[in-house]
Amino acid sequence: MNAPQPAQELRHSALDGYPLVSTFYPAESDEHIVLAGATAVPRGFYRRFSEYAQSRGLNVITTDYRGIGDSKQGSLKGFEMEYADWSRYDLAASVKWASERGRVWIVGHSLGGHALGQLPDPTLVNAAFICGTGAGWHGWMPAPERYRVWLLWNVLGPIMTRVRGYMPMSMVGAGEDLPMGVYRDWKHWCGFPHYFFDDPKATHITAPFTTLNMPIAATVSTDDLWAPPSSRDAFFKGFTNAALEAIDITAADMKVKQVGHMGYFRPNVGERLWPRMIEWLATKGMNAE
């Protein structure tokens, strides 16, 4: 493994001009991983994985989407955006930035899988290793999580957003606060068993997924309450032309007590999972040390 170079803060613009803040982990290669993070999760959560990939000779860029982390500008109250903006403008800008400097792969978490077909030019990406992406519908979740999520969407969420003007996810211990547009769209799509693929008004988003043909590893842990295998399978049915590999892992396999929805990028799980990620990407043409 290589001695890591210092990480660099990167200030750049989304494809629509919105100012973004990213972190770039440089390496002596032209291989780039774009970390496509989860909803409400700031880029710092992915630091340990990024440093691991960097030590394998891979450049990594992690980005705070607009309204999140260091890309948040002022109060979220009154901040207008659509959930899709994170994918088609913010993540897409990081993919474009990396593609101008070398070859690109995506490592994604939750929303990161939803974003793949929303990229304006997915041909810039060679392959994607995705963790914890599912359809979001509470019916795929085991009890009692399905009841907690139903309560969040149908009781707590409407009350909190009406009072605050945004979704205070931090109040329920579920990451950073969300702009109203993100909450609105996310809640709407999570009401469908196959997420936005079931929404007749979302064909402008879903149509490109039918032509997406990159290799994708869709990985979930069997104890991921938000994205169990059934939820993963329901969502990825919309990828009708992709070279998809559905991979299930278990806490026992990772030699930990729990993986859950966030554990994929925690070091105790990463000790065993991250080498597998890099090895899979290497089978798709990535050169890792």
165, 166, 169, 171 alpha-carbon torsion, rounded to 10° = -20
Q: Which domains does the chain have, with CATH numbers?
A: 8-283 (3.40.50.1820)
Rounded Cα distance between 164 and 113, Å, is 29
The pLDDT of residue 207 is 96
The pLDDT of residue 193 is 98
The pLDDT of residue 42 is 97
Across the strands, what pairs with 226? none
The pLDDT of residue 3 is 66
Rounded Cα distance between 12 and 77, Å, is 24
Cα–Cα distance list, 148 to 151, 170, 211, 246 (Å)? 5, 16, 36, 27
The pLDDT of residue 289 is 81
The pLDDT of residue 4 is 74
Q: What is the mean pLDDT of each run of 10 residues along the chain (289 residues)?
A: 82 98 97 97 98 97 98 96 98 98 98 98 98 98 96 94 94 89 97 98 96 97 98 97 97 98 98 98 92
pTM for the model: 0.96
